């Protein structure tokens, strides 16, 4: 299993998760530089719970996050601070900034996005 591959996304969507605050919306994560080159994944949150994770870019996403593959993996697993990398310009954010701030607050409090392995 590799970060954001189909097996990872299926395990992530099926895992039990602690709610991330009250985050609701569709978040697209785009990465480059990993074993599969450019990869995008769509994450759907409802009342703080990740309800679906799938490959590709969802239409009408509320928020898009872009980062190099290794940084994205580290941030999702809680090994890197998303706020620091956002401020440094390594993690690009576009879309609903209120959702970003809500996700960021919950993400930092949880220490990770509850990803598998």
pLDDT confidence of 6, banded at 50, 70, 90? confident
**What is the share, in percent, of the chain residues with pLDDT greater than 90?**
55
8 Å CB contact between 55 and 39: yes
Domains along the sequence of the chain with CATH: 6-108 (3.30.1050.10)
List the Cα angle 38/77/88 in 5-degree steps: 70
Closest CA to 27 of 87, 80, 84, 76: 76
* 3-state SS class at 71: helix
pTM, 2 dp: 0.88
pLDDT digit string (tens) for 34-65?
A: 988 999 999 999 998 888 899 999 999 999 99
pLDDT digit string (tens) for 64-107?
A: 999 999 999 998 888 899 999 999 999 999 999 999 999 888 87
**How confident is the model at residue 5, as a pLDDT?**
86
18 CB burial (10 A radius; 0-12, 13-18, 19+)? exposed
Please list the alpha-helical segments (H only) found in the chain: 6-14, 69-77, 82-88, 97-110
């Amino acid at each position: 299993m590799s970060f954001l591959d189909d097996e990872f996304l299926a395990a992530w969507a099926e895992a039990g998760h602690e709610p991330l605050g009250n985050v609701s919306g569709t978040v697209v994560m785009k990465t480059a530089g990993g074993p599969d080159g450019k990869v995008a994944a769509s994450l759907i949150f409802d009342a703080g719970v990740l309800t679906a994770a799938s490959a590709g870019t969802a239409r009408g996403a509320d928020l898009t996050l872009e980062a190099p593959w290794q940084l994205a993996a580290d941030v999702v697993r809680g090994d890197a601070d998303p706020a620091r990398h956002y401020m440094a310009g390594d993690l690009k954010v576009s879309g609903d900034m209120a959702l970003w701030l809500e996700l960021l607050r919950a993400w930092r409090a949880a220490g990770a996005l509850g990803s598998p392995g």
